Homo-oligomer: A and B are copies of this chain.
Amino acid sequence: MAIELKDLTKRATNYSQWYNELVVKADLAEQSAVRGCMVIKPYGYAIWEKMQRELDDSFKLTGVQNAYFPLLIPKSFLCREAEHVEGFAKECAVVTHYRLKNDPDGNGVVVDPEARLEEELIIRPTSETIIWNTYRNWISSYRDLPLLVNQWANVMRWEMRTRMFLRTAEFLWQEGHTAHATSDEAQAKAIEMLNVYADFAEQFMAMPVIKGVKTANERFAGAVETYTIEAMMQDGKALQSGTSHFLGQNFAKAFDVKFINKENQLEYVWATSWGVSTRLMGALIMTHSDDNGLVLPPRLAPIQVVIIPIYKKADQLETIDAVVHPIVLRLLSKGISVKYDKADNKRAGFKFADYELKGVPVRLVLGPRDIENGTVELMRRDTLEKEIVPLEGIEDHVKRLLDDIQQSLYDKALRHREELTFKVDTWDDFVARIEQGGFVLAHWDGTTETEEKIKELTKATIRCIPMDSEPEAGHCILTGAPSTRRVIFARNY
């Protein structure tokens, strides 16, 4: 086994350290020279590209178009929406100057004090303000609506404690910003996009999610309602994986965006915004991976199948090559991405460990004896199970297997979540349960005060009020006040 693999911390030993190490060892990302900013390495970026492509196609099917808005936002824009500025203005990167000059002392370059901006510019932490300032010129009549725009962009929030993919100062994301003629239509769009996110998470990431509504306390700064998808990681903690906001008329009012409705009256426009980010990479890693490294769902794996030859002499490799090449073509013709790794400067054992670490879903190994027998050794990464299968029809076998792995990963994650989800009705049980990890379904009196008190006492937050939850009479876990439905509590990333 490779040295790198031996060194991977076990999940049971230290889950957090396991994650940090895995991100680096699997070549997904690394810290950069700039505090809190990461470098996304080619292998990690290839996964992100697959996510982007699928999400982008889904957005477009709902009528959304892409556009691009400026990176920098005038400081005054942030202040237009009162709650928004509270949420976003505090920790952000501020551009104050536009020129450097040679240091008079000869030590490189210094900021030119004469090149100070009249108004400071903020690197976008999110783009509602600059976009709604633009929409004012794009919208004048109901005929201009709905306006359905998305952008793929980098954003920056000066987080104090950062973790790769999960919380970084700069991150990549998409942010959709839509404008509508009616409240109902905007509400429906916010929920439609939440469903797009949930379908993507479940069908591509093989990650079950719970769709729900955020409490007032956890709402996006400036939103009337925030919808969320919440996933459970292997340590029982929640990870908010995507949010979609109904913004009411807040930003339209802040930026004076009105339209003439069908009744010929001037009215403020209704809005949504919604986003997912490279945080999904963290969710993907933590949902499926194990002590041997990454486990990737086939639909997002940059390499779905790796083929490794075992040989001693050059003529053996030639024989294997002759068998493998048509197999590669047949796999490709089924839409399966495949890598035939016959690099001769790495031993087979090293390759095995490396592709395990990188989470390649299926491994095929071929030696001279396999060629004689017309067979191949196949290993599936999720269970590490090996089997010997005939070379004849291998492409159909692999195709079925990839589908099976995709489904198995989802099923396993769902089972895990169900096993770690508990209905709790007493405070003592609640505290004990939260301490052990998992989702706790409990009653809450609906006040921010109680929510914050519970967080203070247990570090658990209300992840969401699930959309599919049934009304149920009960009493708040902390105050005993009456409650009409259970909400989900958990510790979270």
What is the CA–CA distance of A170 and B98 in the complex, to the nearest angstrom?
A: 13
Indicate which residue in B65, B95, B99, B133 contacts A95 across the interface (CB closer than 8 Å): B95
Least CB distance, A329 to chain B, in whole angstroms: 17
**Which residues from chain B contact A38 at a C-beta distance below 8 Å?**
70
A46 touches B65 (CB 8 A): yes
Given A45-B68, A73-B34, A154-B71, CB of A94 within 8 Å of CB of B100 = yes
Judged by a CB distance under 8 angstroms, whether A200 is at the interface is no
A134 touches B37 (CB 8 A): no
Judged by a CB distance under 8 angstroms, whether A345 is at the interface is yes
**Which residues from chain B contact A133 at a C-beta distance below 8 Å?**
33
B109 touches A121 (CB 8 A): no
Judged by a CB distance under 8 angstroms, whether A41 is at the interface is yes
Given A92-B98, A96-B111, CB of A45 within 8 Å of CB of B67 = yes
B109 touches A89 (CB 8 A): yes
Within 8 A of B (CB), among A54-95: 65-79, 85, 89-95
Q: Which of A39, A46, A97 has the most CB of B within 10 A?
A: A39
Given A67-B45, A95-B95, A130-B32, CB of A72 within 8 Å of CB of B111 = no
**Which residues from chain B contact A172 at a C-beta distance below 8 Å?**
68
A111 touches B94 (CB 8 A): yes
B70 touches A32 (CB 8 A): yes
Closest to A95 in B: B93
Within 8 A of B (CB), among A144-158: 149, 153-154, 156, 158
A94 touches B90 (CB 8 A): no
Judged by a CB distance under 8 angstroms, whether A347 is at the interface is no
Least CB distance, A311 to chain B, in whole angstroms: 20
Given A76-B108, A101-B90, A108-B76, CB of A70 within 8 Å of CB of B123 = no
Judged by a CB distance under 8 angstroms, whether A49 is at the interface is yes
Judged by a CB distance under 8 angstroms, whether A294 is at the interface is no
A93 touches B89 (CB 8 A): no
Judged by a CB distance under 8 angstroms, whether A42 is at the interface is yes
A85 touches B98 (CB 8 A): no
| 16 residue pairs A–B, Cβ–Cβ below 8 Å | A33-B133, A33-B134, A37-B70, A41-B67, A45-B65, A46-B65, A70-B170, A72-B170, A75-B100, A89-B100, A92-B98, A94-B96, A96-B96, A99-B158, A111-B120, A153-B154
